[in-house]
Amino acid sequence: MSRTRLRGLEIAGIQIGIEVPKSCSWQWADEDLAEFACLPRNPEVHVGVRVGDVGTRDLGGERYAMGAWTFEVARQGDDWLLGLTRAGAREQLALFDQDFRTGEIIISSHVAGRGGYPLQSPLDEWIVLHRNVARGGLCLSGAATADRGRARVRLGTGASPTSNRWSASTLFGRNTLWLCESAGDLRIHRTPWADAMDHALGFDARVLELEHAEESTAAFSEVLDPDEAAEILVAHAVVPLCDDALLERVLQNARKLAELVPFRRIGEPFAVEAPMSWQSTQLQGGFAPPRSLA
């Protein structure tokens, strides 16, 4: 049995422990991603990596185009089967349990030889999305600004990102925000895939308030009740169509998170955003429409 090394990542409060064989020369896909490296003392997600045959057959699931990459998402019973292909050749094949607690990634020999990153995006993004939702969180479109050391979150694609620092490719868009409850507080987390969070907030911050602006003939501001707030949260949540269980969790999480901080609806005399439109044209047909909470 070949010797392995244990590497660690922590993104959005989720620690991933990755057991990598010595034959795989690890190289970070992006220098900003390396900032999320950690000692995997207590990983929430356990990933094994091995070099082997990744196959060529169509996995028979959803396919998402990301520049030179094609990301395949399929189910094998209750488990997830994920593939990454570039220039017509599959480079990675991954099998994870239904909750993304444990998984194995097979990388092709030529990828291992050139020192490929075994959680090549969007594989890492997909894992963190599912674990964040499983922990009670949401991934939302919007932007966050610093306000007295805490985050003021405005939902919607019209909320402009605060910087262009992150250069990693992304499946869900650079204007995504990753939120989760922690010890009774709503917190927001920086990720390597988005640039919609004010860098003054660091890697995570407590959320002060949520807000959503809409076109109005006159300016106004009102605090919504949790039911109304939850419907708006769901309308701006990332929900892949291929996972009904994730959608149900998103609906439940929206109700809970809406009770943690004030949610303000703001009327502005000029349009501040168009109806929700994903940045990636390949994804526009791949997400669930908003579902009523009634």
270-283 pLDDT, tens digit per residue, is 654 544 444 444 44
pLDDT value at residue 242? 67
195-249 pLDDT, tens digit per residue, is 899 999 999 999 999 999 988 788 888 999 999 999 999 999 998 866 778 889 9
* Sign for the pseudo-dihedral over CA of 152, 157, 162, 167: positive
This prediction's pTM: 0.85
In angstroms, the CA 157 to CA 143 distance is 8
List Cβ neighbours of 285 (8 Å cut-off, separation of 6 or more): none
**Is residue 139 scored above 60 in pLDDT?**
yes
146-202 pLDDT, tens digit per residue, is 999 999 999 986 554 444 443 446 888 889 999 999 999 999 999 999 989 999 999
